[in-house]
A and B are shown apart, each in its own frame.
Chain A
Amino acid sequence: MTAEVLIELIDVQKTYGNGENEVHALRGASLQVRAGELIAIMGASGSGKSTLLTIAGGLEVPTSGDVRINDHSLPTLRQKELARLRRQTIGYVFQDFNLIPSLTVVENVALPLELDGMNARNARRAATDSLESMGISDLAKRFPDEISGGQRQRVAIARSFVGPRRVLLADEPTGALDSKTSESVIRAMRKRIDGGLAGILVTHDAKLAAWADRILVIRDGQIVDELKTELRPEQFGAN
């Protein structure tokens, strides 16, 4: 049985500015990601890969085309519905972590659940589980500025996993990390994807992209190539 499509971009275009300053960031990008599937998007700087991700995450609105997340067409959603989708369905991992400095690690991870109305105790429990899955539950009570960059990114990933998320979007999640930490981070992400999530990973790093099921190459706002990865690094003994 074919897994359901959780992320679908249909002929998405995104244009910034107008007249002489007009920049076409995306020119008719289309893709599908099914449950349990992770795709990697690679391309040069300015090719449109981050724009694609932010549009998929509902952080930006496409100029034309449709974006469907878990059967919801994002361009038709109102602000409130879009916000609900972001806190219930989409987990987003930023390159620079974007943790809230005044909250502890566990509070940061629990925040999406609390925002969704879950009581603090349950949210905290779920957050602790998520931190455990990332192997950093011992950092729960620390503040973000008391932990290292790699640990911050793992907290950010733990936050994107927490709760009943179905979609995981990661923008250069290991950009600021060393190779060893990078691997532990992507391994954790992969594990969650295998659990039934759909994910998009934007990266420059081919080694990291190898962890995806498919690699899409984007150039000048268009998806120009698609590669299928037969073996994942863990399967060929990468460490």
Chain B
Amino acid sequence: MSRFNESVIAIKIAQRSVKRNKLQSFLIIAIIAVPVFLVSALLTLDASTKSTVSEQLKYELGDAVAKYEVQYSPNKNLAQNPDLLQLQEIIPDGTATRGELVDIHQVLPKTNLVAVTKTDAIFKTASGIGPISVFLGESWNPAFLNKGPVTLIEGSVPEGSNEVLVTPSALKRFGVQLGETISTESGLEFKVVGTMRDYSTSTSADIVFAMDKSIPNVSGSSSFYYQLSGDSPSWKEVVKLNQQGIAVLSRSVLLNPPVTEEQLLEENSGGASLFAIFSVLLFLVPLGLLPVVVLAGSAFAFGARRQTRTLAVMASLGASRNTLQNVTVTSGIWLGLLGGLSGVVLGVLLVAFFGPSLVTRSFAVQPTWNQYPGFHIPWMFLIILVIASGVLGAVSSYLPARKASRVNILATLRGQRSEGQVRARTGVGALVLLLAGLAVVIFSSMLFTYALNMPKEAVSAYERADGLKRLAVYGQLAGGIITVIGFMVGRGWILRGIRAVISRFGKQFNFAGRDLLFNRSRYAPVLSSVLVVYFVGAMILSVSHGPMQKQAIENAKQQTMLPGQYNYMFPLNNDGAEPTPEKYLASIPSLQTAEYRKNMITQTGAFTNAAVITATPDFYYGAASRDSAGNFLESFNFTMPHVIFNPETVCYSQAISSHHEAFMKEHADVKDWENYINYPPGCANIIEMNRTIVVADVKTLQTISNRVDPNAEQTLTAGGVVVFSRVFDFNGTAKIRWTKESEYSMENNFDSSNASKAVDLKSYVVPGMVSESLRYMAIISPETAAKLDIQAYPVAVLANTEAPISTEVTDELMGKGIWFERFTADDPNALAWLVTWVAGIFVLLATSIALGLSQIEAATDKRTLAAIGAPKSFRSRMVATQAFALTFTGAALGGGVGIAVGLTLVTSASISDLVLPWPQVVTLLLGVPMLAAFIFWVFTPKNLKYEVRQALD
């Protein structure tokens, strides 16, 4: 029989089966369609968030022909991508500075430019005062207004310098209506004449659009210059302007981009290297595919069993085993393609209707209006996805097909069970797999811990350790998978156990248990599916939840409030002024001020606790100023106490960066790199990097780290140093260096040779620190500081909150004179519940599909039961019991292994403290099985018509 004929027959039978067994086919298709739906929605969403050329022209330029921004001092090393208003160094050696910027009007004297300057100003708000973004200039120019860059929502455009437009959220923050007045802290008043939206800004941004120079003395601003008429610059002109430090977005260049050879920079890869993306995919794709393959495999096993009689008839008519196998596999491909196509269509429709809302309201932390420039369908990816679904169908149906092709023709045609179905499996294989999986997990964890703690004195040691860690992670993952396979192999024994337990609860439970055991082949795939889905879900939840929640909590809780000493970071880098110790020390605020402000903060009731941060002055690093050409100025020699970076660690982190690789390609000659001290090819000449030291007692340490860590506290009180990054770690010690003030004076000609001090202190690395705490990376106790004669000064107040703080609170505090630096973060609990809901829905869907398929297969038995008088209550309890027992057991075993592997990964890697999301875990372990049981209990049909078992199929 030709393959063509086989395929034709298989497709025909598959097509007809879909029509005849609508519910079953729907469930099989749904198994494939659900993940494809998610992936295709994400791909479409991703494509829709990328601008086409016409969209970029619309939103960036409106009717303008070009947009310019002066970003750096002139430098021949600067270049840009044609479609990105961002200068980069061709060789990233850090010589680009914002020293002396060119005057764009002098560079382009004949070009008529409209300037829009983006800056901040302190305004009085409804609840106090706060920094608000201000766009100065004619943002509402007819070339932009309602042409793409900005949209007038209501009101009219300003006609005088005392009139402004604001964004809707700013209007709310000011607490005013159109026509009312807002004012700056310094007393300037503006009438709000309308509301406007800027497509380049966050959807929730508070912005005031005002005329040029209506707010004087703005600082820290950036200006965009729009060319409204004439010819837009060619790529050659853009390249020349780049070397002047000017980035350009040119209409003609966007429409006719230069060929790759003419571009000086590599294409923007979106921030992640291909290797990094590949590594993530390598790890995540098999993990994500595992439940899909097992679920689909289970579904096709049901499908194949459903087709067994058809296959037996075909075999009796002379179809070979190959033919039967190919028929089933082709059916799998067909259903896979249908599932893939359905998923793709649904995914695309979701984005078509809800894309903008998904982007601007759900996913991005700081969404902007132009993040969804237009609905785009990534045809190529979607076609690949549909084909992949067909392949998935083929792969998933292969084993069921193989089994079905070995059908016992006579037994099947007579409706008998084959011997294989009745025979009990031995548990030896399962036991071996369980023990092997456990052993692999334990060994891998030990390997990870070893790799984490192994001495690292050279770059090669880091590389070796990273290699071992990677191996250990894969090992832990593999161990978990082996354990789950062990459970899957031993599912007969698990069903036996379930039966033994549930039989004790009464007659229908006993019957439900017997049915589970006797129809093992029907229920085992359900168990396998639940096992695998829960394994993967629980592992991802426990791995991601700990660090993710920790990070979210840190970000949300910790707010740094500098008590008004903005210039404590003295001297500034760019003014070229030589600092003096006297000037520096004079700038440091008094302790009373800091304490006073701390008390103010805690009295607001918005914070859990607060502490004054006392730190050594930070200007050693700041003094390493550069001139406009990027050369280093002579460093100031007065070395404040600091903790230094381990150069090997720094070197390693630089060695693995893609920049370093690019640099090495350009600078094969050793002499060439001597000028580029940030990126030497070896570690010998690496610049010494350091950070200031915080002096804190145990209570302050707890506030800074926002946790109680006995090891850290013990290290602190024992005279050691607590560091928040391993970059300071020299195999258990941290190196502190400083110049003793009393020995460094005018009398000694500021000779630092005798005054320079160094000490190695026992260190303890607090793992997983993120957020604000990282500003205060090394902490010693006041006693240690006194012993070493290290002076520290109050520099900030750090406060912890339980949740993100609204702008109302920050404005209120700023109104009281407390400067605020706040982090925006999502509510960690809301995030965790969102993950749980999504996981719960997926798990419920997966288990319901698998259970639904088993119940379709069991329909004849249920009809027989109904025919002999079993009431609905008996049948519904039986089905609900089976649903709960299977889902709960699979959830407990799969979820247990997943959590164990996840926590092993987290703890052995010391990524974070153990944070098991108990409410979410309990919801998934108990809630989903109960819901599954409820669904099957409710949907048990009241009246079942008896049908002759022999029927047609």
Contacts and interface: CB of A to CB of B under 8 A. Distances in A.
A, B from the same assembly: yes
Interface of A: 54, 57, 59-60, 79-80, 83-88, 90, 92, 94, 96, 98-103, 107, 111-112, 114-120, 144-145, 159
B13 A59 contact: no
A114 B8 contact: yes
A86 B317 contact: yes
A102 B310 CA distance: 9
Contact of A87 (B9, B317, B413): B317
Given A99-B952, A107-B12, A114-B5, A159 B320 contact: no
A103 B309 CA distance: 13
Contacts of A80: 320
Nearest to B322: A80
A99 B891 CA distance: 41
Contacts of B315: 83
Interface string B1-24: 110010011001100110110000
B318 interface: yes
Contacts of A94: 316, 413
B359 to A, nearest CB: 44
B153 to A, nearest CB: 59
A72 B895 CA distance: 58
Contact of A84 (B2, B8, B318, B952): B318
B319 A115 contact: yes
Contacts of B320: 79-80, 83-84
Given A59-B410, A98-B413, A101-B953, A112 B5 contact: no
Contacts of B17: 102
A145 B952 contact: yes
Given A59-B409, A100-B313, A115-B323, A86 B2 contact: no
A107 B315 CA distance: 16
B950 interface: yes
B314 interface: yes
Q: Decide if the interface of chain B is mainly helix, strand, loop or mixed.
A: helix
B514 interface: no
B321 interface: yes
Contacts of A98: 309, 312-313, 316, 413
B313 A117 contact: no
B564 to A, nearest CB: 80
Contacts of A87: 317-319
Among A84, A87, A88, which residue has the most Cβ atoms of chain B within 10 A?
A87
B2 A117 contact: yes
Interface in B461-485: none
A54 B5 CA distance: 27
Contact of A102 (B2, B5, B13, B950): B13
Given A83-B319, A83-B321, 10 more contacts: A59-B316, A79-B321, A84-B318, A86-B318, A96-B950, A107-B12, A115-B318, A116-B1, A120-B8, A144-B952
Nearest to A89: B318
A60 B950 CA distance: 22
Contacts of A100: 13, 310, 313-314
Contacts of A84: 318, 320
Nearest to B414: A96
Given A102-B16, A103-B16, A111 B9 contact: yes
B317 to A, nearest CB: 5
Nearest to B324: A83
A38 to B, nearest CB: 21
Interface of B: 1-2, 5, 8-9, 12-13, 16-17, 19-20, 309-310, 312-321, 323, 409-410, 413, 950, 952-953
Among A59, A101, A103, A144, which residue has the most Cβ atoms of chain B within 10 A?
A101
B310 to A, nearest CB: 5
Nearest to B20: A102
| Cβ-closest 5 pairs across A and B | A87-B318, A102-B16, A86-B318, A101-B952, A83-B320
A112 B413 CA distance: 17
A92 B9 CA distance: 20
9 contacts: A83-B323, A86-B318, A92-B316, A98-B316, A101-B20, A111-B9, A114-B8, A115-B323, A116-B1
Nearest to A86: B318
A111 B316 CA distance: 11
Given A59-B410, A84-B318, A96-B950, A115 B310 contact: no
Contacts of B318: 83-88, 90, 112, 115-116
A117 B3 CA distance: 9
Contact of B314 (A59, A85, A115): A115
A107 to B, nearest CB: 7
Contacts of B310: 100-102
A196 to B, nearest CB: 20
A84 B322 CA distance: 12
Contacts of B413: 94, 96, 98
Contacts of A57: 316
A113 to B, nearest CB: 10
Nearest to A160: B317
Nearest to A82: B318
B170 to A, nearest CB: 65
B952 to A, nearest CB: 4
Contacts of B1: 114-117
A117 B5 contact: yes
Nearest to B413: A98
A100 B409 CA distance: 14
A59 B411 CA distance: 10
Nearest to B310: A100
Contacts of A116: 1, 318
Contacts of A114: 1, 5, 8-9
Among B2, B13, B314, B316, which residue has the most Cβ atoms of chain A within 10 A?
B316
A144 B313 CA distance: 14
Nearest to B410: A59
A140 to B, nearest CB: 15
Nearest to B315: A83
A76 to B, nearest CB: 17
Contacts of B410: 54, 59-60
A150 to B, nearest CB: 15
Contacts of A59: 316, 409-410
A90 B317 CA distance: 8
Contacts of A54: 410
A156 to B, nearest CB: 10
Given A54-B410, A94-B413, A114-B5, A103 B13 contact: yes
Among A59, A98, A145, which residue has the most Cβ atoms of chain B within 10 A?
A98
B413 to A, nearest CB: 6
B316 A115 contact: no
B317 A159 contact: yes
A22 B867 CA distance: 36
Nearest to B319: A115
B293 to A, nearest CB: 26
A99 B309 CA distance: 9
A104 to B, nearest CB: 9
A96 B312 CA distance: 13
Contacts of B309: 98
A78 to B, nearest CB: 10
B567 to A, nearest CB: 82
A115 B4 CA distance: 10
Contacts of B19: 102
Contacts of A111: 9, 314, 317
A102 B8 CA distance: 14
A93 to B, nearest CB: 11
A112 B317 contact: yes
B810 to A, nearest CB: 68
Contacts of B952: 99, 101, 144-145
Contacts of A86: 316-318
Nearest to B15: A102
A62 B410 CA distance: 14
Contact of A99 (B9, B313, B409): B313
Nearest to A84: B318
B9 A115 contact: yes
A100 B313 CA distance: 7
